[in-house]
Chains A and B, each alone.
Chain A
Amino acid sequence: MIDSVKRITIVTGHYGSGKTNFAVNLAVDLCREGKQVVLVDLDIVNPYFRSADFKPQLTEMGIEMICPIYANTNLDIPALGADIYSVFNENDGRYIIFDVGGDDAGAAALGRYAHLIQQEEFDMLYVVNRYRYLTRHPQEALEILREIEATSRVPVTGIVNNSNLGSQTTAQDIENAIGYGLDVAALAGVPVRTVTARRDLASQMTSHPVYPVDIYVLPPWEK
């Protein structure tokens, strides 16, 4: 996954598909490779479980973060700052990851940058989880993908198969969902860019290459 990351990566998907966790993993791994990374929290839909929650630890690692101006403050206003425009410079050298809000509602925030994004090579990744209730069938996942594309005016370039059942996920669950990811990709006419697996499960996955991820988004009793 990491070897083929483009300068701009946009992470979209259904609510709760694991966008934030995937975006944070990508940012951390790129940073560990010595890349300069900017993580842009573009989620102005849901104030819970967002990239901005990890700002202190990510900033300490050297990852630059751009968050909605009033994220996690007393002001409940979904405002995006002008500093986001600073990332659209091909010669900038920094790697940019956008963590977008869920569904087409969340993707609406992306629309105002659509023309800037498409000035250079980019990846718009659509995160899917076969075990999420309303995207269990590839056709349902495709519907949401198309809604996101229509609202954001940015085409999806690849699928991230992030199928999991939270802390109860087994390697078998991930295996069982590989075909689903391929089906979504075939319907959408784009490749599966990667299949994720929690780091401790990744070693058990022999039949298929996976991208090992750490779980950052956790309830308090699992921290």
Chain B
Amino acid sequence: MNNLAERVLMKGNEALAEAAIKSGCRHFFGYPITPQTEVAAYMAKRMPKIGGTYLQAESEIAAINMVLGAASAGVRVMTSSSSPGISLKTEGISYIAGSDLPCLIINVQRGGPGLGGIQPSQADYWQATRATGHGDFHILVFAPATIQEMVDLVYTAYDKADEYRMPAMILADGMLGQMMEPVEFPEKEAERKIEKPWATTGHQNKRVHNITNSLYLDPNELEQKVVERFKRYEIIKEKEPMAEEYLVEDADIVLVSFGATARIVKSAVNSARAMGIKAGMIRPITLWPFPEKAMQKAAKTASCFLSVEMSMGQMVDDVRLAVNGEKPVYFFGRTGGIIPSPAEVLGEIQKIMGGAK
């Protein structure tokens, strides 16, 4: 972020779209929904100018199956939606995961359940990390907190999706999608080309057919496929967790928070410090794989944890699993599209630490 001339002011949704284009994505299939519509609108404007494909499908289900098709051909492809639309896409996501195909899915979350609302939310955490469809599988889930990080994580998500042959998701929220911040687009240095010998690009009588498929009627073969996939997940869990740690080293209370909420929490942590309360924050950047080790390390020194989310408490489950009973884990959240205020979070810190002192 040092070259001022290169910085531009962008909405989160626009930045996601442009970052995908810069990452080599030339195929976008989607269906409009607030608060992510600018992703599609931006793609509709840009794709025809750069020889790409923008297609507004007849439904979310159609869109995700187009992604399945494009991913089979080995191209970088993306779809984007908001919560209810992602629910519609889950069948296709499961097929893509079951076919070992890379793609990028954007979820700019809004309040739920059902049609819910159009204001920011993080209530799709469970869906993103546990069940983006039926069957035994995971997808990579990245949670940016700034517009610049949205850009950076789109690059990373594409690379990791290709490397591990699996779908990746950017889990954002309506606040990040709609707000504007200065960003810079790193020019990709000689792109680390990931070969895709499995892609269905036409054999031209020079090789055997490539087949992408998630149907295995022989249970032995299916079990073997799933077990192989889970071996890959173990490598990912070892190598890929990402988290930001803020004033954790000497913290008595460690707040855990992701996405836009983490910025509110950071502001509350600063206020708590100013009052003499040793607060810190761990911000998971990857939600799957969850940065368990960062939690476990903090559990050795901190006296308690407080997970703050725009939901009734979902990531707090992963914090509890990681901390494994070593220290108390508290929760504070607002839901339905309400964004917690820094003052509310500070109030929770005071409530907990007042009792603990």
Contact residues of A with B, CB < 8 Å?
Answer: 15-16, 46-49, 76, 129, 131-134, 136, 164-166, 168, 173, 219-221, 223
Number of B residues contacting the other chain (C-beta, 8 Å)? 28
Instruction: Give the tally of cross-chain contacts (CB within 8 A).
Output: 59
Main secondary structure on A side of the interface with B: loop
What are the residues of chain B within 8 A of A166 when measuring CB–CB? 9, 180-182
Per the bound structure, the CA–CA distance linking A46 and B178 in Å amounts to 9
| Residue contact A48 to B178, C-beta cutoff 8 Å | yes
- With A219-B179, A221-B267, A221-B342 known to touch, is A47 a contact of B118 (CB < 8 Å)? yes
Question: Closest approach, in angstroms, between the C-beta of A174 and any C-beta of chain B?
Answer: 13
- Kindly supply a per-residue 1/0 record for chain B positions 1-36, scoring 1 wherever the CB is within 8 Å of any chain A CB and 0 otherwise: 000100111110010001000000000000000110
CB proximity to A under 8 Å, residues B158-215: 174-175, 178-182
| Residue contact B264 to A47, C-beta cutoff 8 Å | no
Question: Closest approach, in angstroms, between the C-beta of B142 and any C-beta of chain A?
Answer: 20
Asked if B152 CB lies within 8 Å of chain A CBs, one says no
What are the residues of chain B within 8 A of A136 when measuring CB–CB? 8
- A-B contacts, 24 of them at CB < 8 A, read A15-B38, A16-B9, A47-B35, A48-B174, A76-B118, A129-B9, A131-B8, A131-B9, A131-B182, A132-B9, A132-B10, A133-B18, A165-B7, A165-B9, A165-B182, A166-B9, A166-B180, A219-B260, A219-B263, A220-B264, A220-B339, A220-B342, A221-B266, A221-B342
Per the bound structure, the CA–CA distance linking A1 and B352 in Å amounts to 51
Per the bound structure, the CA–CA distance linking A220 and B38 in Å amounts to 21
Which partner residue on chain A sits nearest B264 by CB separation? A221
Question: Closest approach, in angstroms, between the C-beta of A206 and any C-beta of chain B?
Answer: 20
| Residue contact B180 to A16, C-beta cutoff 8 Å | yes
- With A76-B118, A221-B342 known to touch, is A16 a contact of B182 (CB < 8 Å)? no
Which of B14, B118, B341 has a CB less than 8 Å from the CB of A133? B14
Which of B11, B14, B118, B182 has a CB less than 8 Å from the CB of A168? B182
